[in-house]
Structure 1
């Protein structure tokens, strides 16, 4: 592909798209800015018109991922209403669906080591997306007797950890971790066990 230098149409987005492809193929630390430039069809020098370095590029990929993630989580939350349990379960499924459909964004967001505090825009959208799960947990926790009610932040953190674990081990094709059960079933049954332990679901006969 010929180098197009600074005359590339939307160079900034082309570089983000290139980084997402490379993240999926090599991981967030497995590629260079030169490789991203080559993937986008521009010279390495052109990258620095938009990004200070690789981490800055990955941070923008993460920010865009959180935008998609927040929209999906909010839609899931609303689709489960008016049931607090329905909204909570829908957000868990949306987390898994996002990881499977947008693996490059997912890795940039959660596995790159990029802090959500890196810039104000990234922080704001990350808080919006992750806040949906906390809101769903807070709604559901109101149905737990007060003396057995974990803080909503802890409640949502437990579900986030469970969702993340299912994604990492079984939903993204990690070597040697094939499960005889679909990731969706693993997550649903795991959440069910957790909610039964809190008295939010009836125990099986």
Structure 2
């Protein structure tokens, strides 16, 4: 259609960007959805690259948001890693409680059950487990993290009191704390060695799960006869 002399054709309306396009960098998230998505992305990175391979930028890239988004939610890389570690300590606490409940009535059986439960947790969640004790990468003074660590440790204290025949509210003296830390160090070191494959050669052709269970049980029976 011809335009009158001197008249300018009407400007076309600007083309709207398809905000639903899968290639769009910033996806639309509800606050809680993005929170959980970033945690899931972080755990995937930890599994693939370890703690030292984690960056906020990579977590943002996997979720499809700008690099500023994780910092807005968690403050820093340490803040996001602390959130994952917090979930790890909470899960460990529940795991230890379940292990103790499944054991017999004997305090020695319950103490050994906690040791087995600790190692099972580490092998089931190796990325979380390794992160949980990398305090140099976490906000170690975060009150929620401190509380979660304390709750998990309280299960070890409870087992120590029971093994010693003490009431539930009796404070542990220095010798008993040393005993508890000795048992904890034992299973913690065993768990790390298992995760690093240090028992594989010793297991030979035997099933590795059976070998680890039987070996740990023999060690724990010497510590908690």
**TM-score of the superposed pair, with normalisation by structure 1:** 0.82
SS at match of 1:82: coil
What is the correspondence of 1:49-198 to structure 2 with a 5 Å cutoff?
49-114=72-137, 117-142=140-165, 151-170=175-194, 172-174=195-197, 178-181=200-203, 182-195=211-224
How far does the alpha carbon of each residue in 1:104-136 deviate from its partner, in whole angstroms, 9 at most, with x for none?
A: 211121235356742111111111112101211
Q: Once superposed, which parts of structure 1, at least 4 consecutive aligned residues long, lie more than 6 Å away?
A: none
Contact 2:78 2:138 in 1 (8 A): no
How far does the alpha carbon of each residue in 1:68-97 deviate from its partner, in whole angstroms, 9 at most, with x for none?
A: 111111122222252211211111111011
How far does the alpha carbon of each residue in 1:154-198 deviate from its partner, in whole angstroms, 9 at most, with x for none?
A: 22211111111111112x144x65342422222211112223xxx
Q: Which moved more, 1:57-66 or 1:13-22?
A: 13-22
Give the distance between the partners of 2:140 and 2:177, measured in 1 at CA.
19
Give the distance between the partners of 1:78 and 1:116, measured in 2 at CA.
32
Structure 1 regions of 5+ residues with no counterpart?
Answer: 144-148, 196-200
**TM-score of the superposed pair, with normalisation by structure 2:** 0.75
Q: How many residues align?
A: 189
Give the distance between the partners of 2:24 and 2:80, measured in 1 at CA.
20
RMSD between aligned residues:
2.3
